[in-house]
Every structure is written in C-alpha cells, then in structure tokens.
Amino acid sequence: MSIGQIMSKKLITLEIDDHLDKAKALFEQHKIHHILVLNNKELAGILTDRDLYKQLSPYIGTSKETPRDSTLLHKKVHLVMTRELVTTTINSSINDVVMLFYKEHISCLPIVDENFHPIGIISWRDIIKVAALQHLKKIAKAKT
C-alpha cells in the first residue's frame, strides 16, 4: 500500500501571518490535531493543537477571561509553529513513514512535492488505522 492511498489530501492550512484565533477556530471546526502553515504555497511550518493551547490562557471564552487572554489570540502563527520540519514524498513506503515517526518522534508527516508544496499529510493515527484494518481482514479470512 502506498502513502498516496492513505494520506489525507484535504489539507487544512494557514498562512504564516494568520493569527492564533484563526488556528483555534480551524482546530475546533475540523477536529484535527495538525495544521500546515504556508508561505506563498510553500510549506513553512506546522502547528499542532498542543502548540496552540500551550500559548493560550485556559480562561479564554469564560467569565474569567482578561484582556491579556484575548490578546494572545492575536499572536501570529509563525511565532508559535514548528519550523524544523520532517517531510516525505508520495513515493515513500509505509515502512519508511513508520521509521520516520519512530526516529524523529513526530506525530504527523507532511507529504510534499518537488517544490515543497504540501500535497498531503499522514499521522500516526492513519498508520494505526491501516494496521488495524489489515489485522481485521486477516482475522476474517482465517475464520472462512
């Protein structure tokens, strides 16, 4: 099975100068854990939900919210995102991807083209799903 078959092609992205309030809204709307950050269509970084929530006050949106709390939402994405990226291409095998997750201690892997434009993303959850489905098929086949 190729990476192209299991990667997500529906990319949720931000631009480097977008504000954290936009990132927060995207995480909540799409129920995702990673957002790719672009600079003129080129991959510039990645923002995780953990990166975001480390920056924000737990009082945002509550009666205890202060002006300083809401000001944090106007911080730019490029100030928080991870810039040191581990990426791969669509030609990588699942084994290659698993080894990158293991060696690099990452939770997602952007798939880029030759111009470093993102064309997909794969997470450790996607790999677990594929492994589980293959195991279930093997069990079903053994029962027949």
Structure confidence by residue, pLDDT tens digits, 89-131: 999 999 999 999 999 999 999 999 999 999 999 999 999 999 9
**8 A C-beta contact, residue 97 and residue 3:** yes
Average pLDDT estimate for 39-46: 97
**8 A C-beta contact, residue 4 and residue 89:** no
Token digits of residue 139: 């069990």
pLDDT per residue over 71-99, tens digit each?
888 999 999 999 999 999 999 999 999 99
Domain, as residue range, for 139: 3-143
pLDDT for the residue numbered 120: 97
Looking at the 3D structure of the chain, how many domains does it have? 1
Q: What is the pTM of this model?
A: 0.88
> What gap in Å lies between CA 42 and CA 85, rounded to an integer?
12
> What gap in Å lies between CA 102 and CA 76, rounded to an integer?
30
Looking up residue 50, the CATH number of its domain turns out to be: 3.10.580.10
